[in-house]
Amino acid sequence: MKKLIKSTLLVSLSMAAGFAFAQSATDDIAKYREMIADGNPSELYEAAGEDIWAKPMGPKNVSLQKCDLGKGPGVVKGASAELPRYFKDTNKVQDLESRIITCMEKLQGYDPKEIISAGFEKGKRKDVEAVVAYVVTHSKGMKIKVPNKHPKEKEMYAMGEKAFFFQGGPMDFSCASCHGEDGKRIRLQDLPNITEQKGAALGFGYWPAYRVSSGNFWTMQRRLNDCYRQQRFPEPIYTSDVTIALSVYMGVKANGGVMNTPGLKR
Amino acid sequence: MKKIHLLTSAAVAMIASTSLMAQSAFEKAHNASFKENGIAKLDRLERDDTQKFCSEPAALAGKGDPKKREAIEKANMATIKQPSDGKYLGDWKEGEKIAQSGRGATWTDKAGTPNGGGCYNCHQINKKEISHGNIGPSLWNYGKVRGNTDAVVQYTWGKIYNAKAYNACSNMPRMGHYKLLTEQQIRDVMALLLDPASPVNQ
C-alpha cells in the first residue's frame, strides 16, 4: 500500500509540474488522488477476478487455473509484464485479453465470438475484464519485458508502428497526433510521447487502470477503443490485430520500464 | 439517364477494384480490424493523398519529399472556399462556445448534431480559460498582435478552413474542407480571434 501511495504522489507531482499555471485544477486532482489512494477501486475488480479465475464455470465446468498466460499453466505472477507475446498453440501473438478468451474457449467451452461481439462490461466480457484486473495486479512493480523475437512478434511490432502513424478519419488524426511529442496536453491532460521509452512506459505501465472520471475499470483494449473513438475512426474490433499490434508496439518501446498496474487515472 | 448510371457504376467499380488491388498487406489487416459504428463508417480508413503522405513518420516530422509536400499544400489550398457573402467575422460569443465544445464526429455522436471546434483542446485562446491544451500555439491576443488587414483575415479563414494548405502535416483538422464546421461557425470562431471586442484581444 505504501508503494501505491508513493507512486500516486509521484504522478500527482509530475502532473503538478506539467501545469504550473493551472494550480487550482491541479490541486483538486492531486487532492482527489490522495483521498482515494488508500484503496484503488480496482481492488474490487481484482477480487472478483480472483474468484472467477478459480471457479469451475462454462459448458465444461472447469476453472481457469490451468490457463497458460505465457509463463506456464496457472502462472499469473509476472505474466502481464511479458504480454503480448507469441503463443505456439494458437500460432498467434496475443495480448492478455485475447489470451484469457482463448482459455475460456479451450478450457471452459465458451464461444469466443460472443465475448468479442459483446460490449465492454457486458456478458462474459465483464468476466474477462475482472480476470484482467486480477492478473495485472500480479505484475505490479515488475519490469516490462514484452518479447520481440519471434517473426510473428516482429510482424506485429511493425504493424503497430504503422498503425500508430496511420492518419485517417475526418480530423486526419493518428495516435501520433497526440502521442508523438514530449510535453503535450489536451486541455489539462498530459499526453505521454509513446514513440520514446519513457513515454511508452507511462502509457503501457499504468494501464489497465481504474478511471475516476467514468468510475470504472478499463482494460488496455478499452483504453485503445476510446482513443480510436476520439480519433474519429470506426470502432476497432475487440482483440483485433490492430489492437494487439499497438500493444506490442507500446510494450516493446516501454521495455525496461515498470508495471504500475492497475493504475489510477483521471 | 440509364447510360449515365451505368457509366457511373462502372467507374465506381473500377475505382473500388484498383483501390483494392493497391491495398498493402498492412492495409488489409488494418481495415479488417475495424467495424462501422453509427456515423463512423469504414470509409474513414480510406486516406486521401494528404493523409497517406502524413502517415509517414518522416513527413509528419517535417521531412520527406519536399516536392510532394508542396503539391499537397497546393492541392489543399485549392479546396479553400472564401465566405459566400464576403463576410468573414461573426459573433465572438458564439465563437467562444464553438471553441469550447469538443463534440462531434465520433461513433457516439448522432448524425446532424452540430460539431464543436474543439479549439481549446489544443490552443490557449481566452486566457481566462485555464483548461487548454498545447498541441497548437497560443492564440491569446491573436488579432491584437496581427491586426485585421485583409491579408490576415483571409489567411486566418484559410487556416481554419484547411490548415494543410499552409503546412501539409499540420496536426490541425481541416475544419471547412471536411465540413466539421459550417461557414457560419467559422465566421464566429474568426470573430473570437479577430474582433477587437473579443476577450481574446483585450
Q: Could you tell me the pLDDT band of residue A22, with boundaries at 50, 70 and 90?
A: very low
pLDDT at A243 over 50: yes
Tally of CB atoms within 10 A around A16: 15
In a domain, residue B171? The reply is yes
Q: Which residues of chain B from 111 to 150 reach within 8 Å of chain A, CB to CB? A: 120-122, 130-135
Instruction: Convert the pLDDT of each residue in B120-161 to its tens digit.
Output: 999 999 999 999 999 999 999 999 999 999 999 999 999 999
Q: Could you tell me the pLDDT band of residue A97, with boundaries at 50, 70 and 90?
A: very high
* Crossing angle of helices A2-18 and A23-37, rounded to 10°: 170
Q: Is-contact B190 B89, C-beta < 8 A?
A: yes
Same domain, B115 and B197: yes
Same domain, B51 and B113: no
Distance between start and end Cα atoms, chain A: 20
Strands of the sheet containing A216-218, edge to edge, are A216-218, A209-211, A263-265
CB contact under 8 A, A169 and B105: yes
Same domain, B59 and B110: no
Same domain, B125 and B189: yes
In a domain, residue B70? The reply is no
Report angle CA B54, B58, B59 to the nearest 5 degrees. 35
Question: Annotated catalytic, A175?
Answer: no
Number of domains in chain B: 2
User: What was the pLDDT predicted at A12?
Assistant: 42
Q: Which three cell numbers mark B82? A: 472564401
Amino acid identity for residue B1 in this structure: M
pLDDT at A13 over 50: no
**Spatial separation of the C-alpha atoms in residues A261 and A94, rounded to whole Å:** 19
CATH of the domain at B183: 1.10.760.10
In a domain, residue B106? The reply is yes
pTM metric for this prediction:
0.89
Report angle CA A252, A253, A258 to the nearest 5 degrees. 85
Among residues A118, A224, A124, A91, the alpha carbon closest in space to that of B33 is found at A224
pLDDT at A30 over 90: no
Same domain, B115 and B196: yes
pLDDT, mean of residues B38-59:
98
pLDDT, mean of residues A33-52:
86
User: What was the pLDDT predicted at A266?
Assistant: 82
pLDDT, mean of residues A88-104:
98
Buried b (16+ CB within 10 A) or exposed e, B121-139: bbbbbbeeebebbbbbeeb
pLDDT at A17 over 70: no
- Domain residues for the domain of B165 are 92-201
User: What was the pLDDT predicted at A24?
Assistant: 52
Q: Which residue has the cell 464526429?
A: B105
Chain A interface disruption, residue of B19, B28, B34, most A CBs within 10 A: B34
**Spatial separation of the C-alpha atoms in residues A142 and A201, rounded to whole Å:** 12
Q: Which three cell numbers mark A187? A: 486541455
